[in-house]
Chain A
Amino acid sequence: NAGVTQTPKFQVLKTGQSMTLQCAQDMNHEYMSWYRQDPGMGLRLIHYSVGAGITDQGEVPNGYNVSRSTTEDFPLRLLSAAPSQTSVYFCASRGGEAGYTFGSGTRLTVV
């Protein structure tokens, strides 16, 4: 049972490039979310999903797209990377009443 798996663990992008951060969970959880964490700050919600085919915006959605075609996968797309998107990105999932389980994060640098 792998839990929540994020890939890649590290990534460096040039300004304007696009990329997809992958997130997969094997716990059959309905809810999945993407957060970013900047130094000295808590985690801010980017996008979330309450089930396959359903997504919604969080606190800081601009510059990011998501889709949820399957229960297991919830990829996060950066359309045109900007230095302000340099951050650590966490994917998380939950089922039922329990709290979210987090992946180990993707450390993204945009130069």
Chain B
Amino acid sequence: GQQLNQSPQSMFIQEGEDVSMNCTSSSIFNTWLWYKQDPGEGPVLLIALYKAGELTSNGRLTAQFGITRKDSFLNISASIPSDVGIYFCAGLNNDMRFGAGTRLTVKP
């Protein structure tokens, strides 16, 4: 099946620090996406990547689509308290599959 392995499972960082998380798969995906989920809400799209090697930024967030199309990473620079939440990677072909998530805690 199309399994996505996301790491780390959780992170505890100080406000102002940078964060990096990644996702790997044994399957090739046409599109990689990163979502954030706040408690009691549905996931919200942060960044979508459409081409192998693509590097895309959205404010303090930067994500890359791996050359092999089997991996992606997300970086958050200069973290702030509102970055707290669960971050999910997702791979999209005809359907979309999710990683298990990275739970981010930011200490003021």
B is a partner of A: yes
User: How many angstroms between the C-alpha atoms of A56 and B92 in the bound complex?
Assistant: 15
A91 to B77, CA, bound (A): 31
Query: Is B1 part of the binding interface, using a Cβ–Cβ cutoff of 8 Å?
Result: yes
| A99 B45 Cβ-Cβ under 8 A | yes
Asked if A103 and B42 make an inter-chain contact with CB atoms under 8 angstroms apart, the answer reads yes
| Docked pose: A4 CA to B90 CA in angstroms | 19
Number of interface residues of A (CB under 8 A): 25
**Chain A contacts of B45 at CB under 8 A?**
98-101
Give 1 or 0 for each of A15-35: 1 = CB within 8 Å of chain B CB: 000000000000000000101
Q: How many A-B residue pairs have CB under 8 A?
A: 60
| Complex-state Cα separation, A48 to B97, whole angstroms | 11
The CA of A43 and the CA of B40, in the complex, are separated in Å by 14
Do A100 and B50 touch across chains, with their CB atoms under 8 A apart?
Answer: no
When distances are taken between beta carbons in the complex, the residues of chain B under 8 Å from A35 are: 98
Encoded as 1 (CB less than 8 Å from any B CB) or 0, chain A from 38 to 67 comes to 001111110010100000101100000000
Contact B92 A99 (CB under 8 A): yes
- CB contacts (< 8 Å) of A41 on chain B: these are 100-101
Interface centre among A33, A56, A99, by most chain B C-beta atoms within 10 angstroms, is: A99
Min CB gap B91→A, angstroms: 11
> Closest residue to A104 on the B side, CB-wise?
B42
* Contact yes or no, B92 A45, CB < 8 A: no
Contact of B43 among A44, A56, A102 (CB under 8 A): A102
Cα–Cα, bound, A48→B44 (Å):
19
Assess the B42–A45 pair: CB atoms within 8 A: no
Residues of B within 8 A of A45 (CB): 95-97
Which chain A residues have a beta carbon within 8 Å of chain B's beta carbons? 4, 33, 35, 40-45, 48, 50, 56, 58-59, 90, 92, 97-105
- What is the interface of chain B, defined by CB distance below 8 A to chain A? 1, 4, 6, 31, 33, 35, 40-45, 48, 50, 88, 90, 92, 94-101
